[in-house]
Structure 1
Amino acid sequence: MTLRIPFDNSYARLPDALFTRVAPTPVTSPTLLAWNAPLAEELGITGDPDAATFAGNTIPDGADPLAMAYAGHQFGGFSPSLGDGRAILLGEVIDRQGIRRDIQLKGSGRTPYSRNGDGRAWMGPVLREFVVSEAMHALGIPTTRALAAVRTGDTIQRETALPGAVLTRTASSHLRVGHFEYFAARGDKASLQALYDYAVDRHDPQAKDPLMFLKGVIARQAKLVAHWMGVGFIHGVMNTDNTSISGETIDYGPCAFMDAYHPQTVYSSIDQYGRYAYDNQPQILPWNMAKLGSALLALLPDPEAAIPDFTAAVHAMPDLIDAEWLAVFAAKIGISAPRTEDRALISDLLSLMQAGNSDFTNTFHALLTDNARDQIADREAFTDWTLRWHDRLASEPDAHALMGRTNPAVIPRNHLVEEMIQAAVAGDMGPFETLRHALSTPFETPEDARLITPPTKDQEVTATFCGT
Structure 2
Amino acid sequence: MSLSIPFANTYGTLPAQLFTRMKPTAVADPSLIAFNHDLAAELGIENTQDIAELSRVFGGNEVPQGADPLAQLYAAHQFGQWNPQLGDGRALMLGDVETTAGRFDIQLKGSGPTPYSRNGDGRAWLGPVLREYVMSEAMHALGIPTTRALAAVATGEQVFRETALPGAVITRVAASHIRVGTFQILVARRDLDGLQALNEHAVERHYPDCNNPLEFLQAVIHAQAKLVAKWMSIGFIHGVMNTDNCTVSGETIDYGPCAFMDEFHPMQVFSSIDRHGRYAYGNQPDIIVWNMAQLATSLVPLMPDADQAVKDFTAAVHAMPKLLHENWRNAFGAKLGMTSPSQEDDRLIQELLQLMADEKADFTNTFRALTDGTANPKLDKSDAFQSWTQRWRTRIEREEDPIAKMRAANPYIIPRNHQIEAMIQAAVQGDYDPFHRLNALLATPFAASSEALYLTHPPQDAERVEATFCGT
Q: Shorter-chain TM-score: what band?
A: over 0.9
Separation in structure 2 between the aligned mates of residue 418 and residue 3 of structure 1, nearest angstrom: 34
Separation in structure 2 between the aligned mates of residue 7 and residue 463 of structure 1, nearest angstrom: 39
Query: Given that residues 35 and 152 in structure 2 are in contact (C-alpha distance below 8 angstroms), is that contact kept between their aligned partners in structure 1?
Result: yes
State the Cα distance separating 1:98 from its structure 2 match.
Answer: 4.0
Query: Given that residues 72 and 79 in structure 1 are in contact (C-alpha distance below 8 angstroms), is that contact kept between their aligned partners in structure 2?
Result: yes
Separation in structure 2 between the aligned mates of residue 184 and residue 215 of structure 1, nearest angstrom: 19
**Aligned equivalent of 2:150:** 147
State the Cα distance separating 1:371 from its structure 2 match.
Answer: 2.2
**Aligned equivalent of 2:40:** 40
Amino-acid identity (%): 58
State the Cα distance separating 1:379 from its structure 2 match.
Answer: 2.3
Q: Which runs of 5+ in 1 are unaligned?
A: none
Tell me if 1:379 matches 2:385: no
Query: Could you give the per-residue CA deviations for residues 275-312 of structure 1, whole angstroms, max 9, x where no partner exists?
Result: 00000000000100000000000112321221111000
**Aligned equivalent of 1:455:** 459
Tell me if 1:351 matches 2:371: no
Query: Could you give the per-residue CA deviations for residues 5-50 of structure 1, whole angstroms, max 9, x where no partner exists?
Result: 1111100111111111011000000000111111011111111251
State the Cα distance separating 1:2 from its structure 2 match.
Answer: 2.2
Tell me if 1:189 matches 2:192: yes
TM-score for the superposition, normalised by structure 1: 0.98
**Aligned equivalent of 1:62:** 66
Tell me how many residue pairs correspond in the alignment: 467
Tell me if 1:163 matches 2:166: yes
Separation in structure 2 between the aligned mates of residue 15 and residue 277 of structure 1, nearest angstrom: 37
Alignment of 1:50-449 (within 5 A): 50-95=54-99, 97-376=100-379, 378-448=381-451, 449=453
**Aligned equivalent of 1:25:** 25
Separation in structure 1 between the aligned mates of residue 241 and residue 115 of structure 2, nearest angstrom: 24
Separation in structure 1 between the aligned mates of residue 37 and residue 428 of structure 2, nearest angstrom: 23
Letter paired with 1:235: H
Q: Which runs of 5+ in 2 are unaligned?
A: none
Query: Could you give the per-residue CA deviations for residues 341-382 of structure 1, whole angstroms, max 9, x where no partner exists?
Result: 111111111111111100000000011122254331652111
Separation in structure 1 between the aligned mates of residue 7 and residue 425 of structure 2, nearest angstrom: 36
Separation in structure 1 between the aligned mates of residue 121 and residue 265 of structure 2, nearest angstrom: 37
Question: Tell me, what secondary structure is at the counterpart of 1:375?
Answer: coil
Question: Tell me, what secondary structure is at the counterpart of 2:250?
Answer: coil
Query: Given that residues 410 and 446 in structure 1 are in contact (C-alpha distance below 8 angstroms), is that contact kept between their aligned partners in structure 2?
Result: no
**Aligned equivalent of 1:7:** 7
Separation in structure 1 between the aligned mates of residue 186 and residue 422 of structure 2, nearest angstrom: 42
Separation in structure 2 between the aligned mates of residue 446 and residue 6 of structure 1, nearest angstrom: 39
Query: Could you give the per-residue CA deviations for residues 390-446 of structure 1, whole angstroms, max 9, x where no partner exists?
Result: 100111122000000000011000000000001011111110111111100000123
Separation in structure 2 between the aligned mates of residue 98 and residue 377 of structure 1, nearest angstrom: 46
Letter paired with 2:286: Q
After superposing on structure 2, the runs of 4+ consecutive aligned residues of structure 1 that deviate more than 4 Å are: none
Separation in structure 2 between the aligned mates of residue 372 and residue 4 of structure 1, nearest angstrom: 52
Separation in structure 2 between the aligned mates of residue 411 and residue 373 of structure 1, nearest angstrom: 18
Question: Tell me, what secondary structure is at the counterpart of 2:4?
Answer: coil
Query: Given that residues 177 and 245 in structure 1 are in contact (C-alpha distance below 8 angstroms), is that contact kept between their aligned partners in structure 2?
Result: yes
Separation in structure 2 between the aligned mates of residue 196 and residue 363 of structure 1, nearest angstrom: 43
Query: Given that residues 87 and 106 in structure 1 are in contact (C-alpha distance below 8 angstroms), is that contact kept between their aligned partners in structure 2?
Result: yes
Separation in structure 2 between the aligned mates of residue 132 and residue 154 of structure 1, nearest angstrom: 24
Query: Given that residues 356 and 378 in structure 1 are in contact (C-alpha distance below 8 angstroms), is that contact kept between their aligned partners in structure 2?
Result: no
Query: Given that residues 92 and 100 in structure 1 are in contact (C-alpha distance below 8 angstroms), is that contact kept between their aligned partners in structure 2?
Result: yes
Query: Given that residues 179 and 241 in structure 1 are in contact (C-alpha distance below 8 angstroms), is that contact kept between their aligned partners in structure 2?
Result: yes
CA RMSD in angstroms, aligned pairs only: 1.0
TM-score for the superposition, normalised by structure 2: 0.98
Separation in structure 1 between the aligned mates of residue 408 and residue 101 of structure 2, nearest angstrom: 27
Separation in structure 1 between the aligned mates of residue 35 and residue 301 of structure 2, nearest angstrom: 43
Letter paired with 2:201: Y
